[in-house]
Structure formats: C-alpha cells, structure tokens
C-alpha cells in the first residue's frame, strides 16, 4: 500500500489520492500507513473484512468511508474526485474475502472505472 501511495503521489502535480484500501487483513498494523495517508490522501474508501479496523486506525487522521464493496468504493471515489486527483486501488490486504485472486480484483476495478467514466 505504501509503495503504491508514493508512486501515485509523485505524478499528481498537486492533486490528491482517493485511496481504495482493504480486503482480508494480513495482520499488519494499519497505523503504519498513517504518515503516508496524511501526506497524500484526500479520502480513503475502505472495502472488505478489515473495514472497521482500518477506519478505527485512520479516521482521526484522514477522512474514511466504509464502502464495503469495490464497486461502491469506485463509484464513491469517482463521484468525489476533482480535476487532478487520482483514484488509487492499493488495498494493502488479500483479496480472498471478495475475489478469487488479486488479478480478478484488479480486473474488476478496471471494469468499474470504465463503467463509471461512461456514466459521466
């Protein structure tokens, strides 16, 4: 997750990251991401089994929305995005709570983004 935030933030030119994070926790402490969240993230959309834990760890430092599913997170983040912002899927968790693999999760993310762009 932290590497994804760093890479995304370098190319933003003043924009902010709308981060989609979550899934099946791997046991890491979500508070380790706080310095990066407060520097680059405008809002976090949390999905999956870790939603409550991540929201509890981060909500005092960055705006969090429990979206539950990836589709809802993409819809909400695209609704909230301003010009120059980046919607980033950097879950920091395993995908197996909602998907067969990380590949399927990534493919679904791309599909939801394409679907959202057609609505605008």
| Boundaries of every domain in the chain | 2-119
For residue 3, what pLDDT is reported? 58
Residues 90, 76: Cα–Cα separation, whole Å: 16
Q: What are phi and psi of 90, to 5 degrees?
A: -140, 75
How high is the pLDDT of residue 25? Answer: 82
Taking residue 67's Cβ as centre, other Cβ atoms within 10 Å add up to: 22
Q: What is the pTM of this model?
A: 0.85
- From first to last of its 120 residues, what are the pLDDT tens digits of the chain? 555 555 555 656 667 889 999 888 888 888 888 887 887 889 999 999 889 999 999 999 999 999 989 999 999 999 999 888 889 988 888 888 888 899 999 999 999 998 887 765
Confidence at residue 40, expressed as pLDDT on a 0 to 100 scale: 82
The secondary structure element, H or E, covering residue 4 is helix 2-10
Q: Are 11 and 91 in contact (CB under 8 A)?
A: no
Cβ-contact 20, 89 below 8 angstroms: yes
Cα R_g (the chain), whole angstroms? 13
DSSP 3-state percent helix, strand, coil across the chain (nearest 5): 50, 20, 30
Domain 2-119 falls under CATH 3.40.50.10680: no
The pLDDT, as a whole number, for residue 32 is 85
């Amino acid at each position: 997750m932290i590497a994804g935030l760093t890479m995304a933030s370098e190319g933003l030119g003043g924009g902010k990251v709308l981060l989609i994070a979550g899934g099946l926790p791997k046991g890491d402490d979500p508070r380790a991401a706080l310095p990066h969240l407060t520097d680059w993230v405008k809002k976090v959309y949390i999905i999956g089994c870790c939603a409550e834990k991540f929201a509890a760890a981060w909500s005092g430092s960055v705006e969090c929305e429990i979206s539950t599913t990836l589709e809802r997170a993409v819809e909400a983040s695209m609704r909230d995005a301003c010009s120059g912002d980046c919607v980033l899927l950097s879950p920091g968790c395993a995908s197996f709570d909602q998907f067969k693999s990380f590949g399927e999760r990534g493919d679904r993310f791309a599909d939801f983004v394409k679907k959202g762009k057609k609505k605008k």
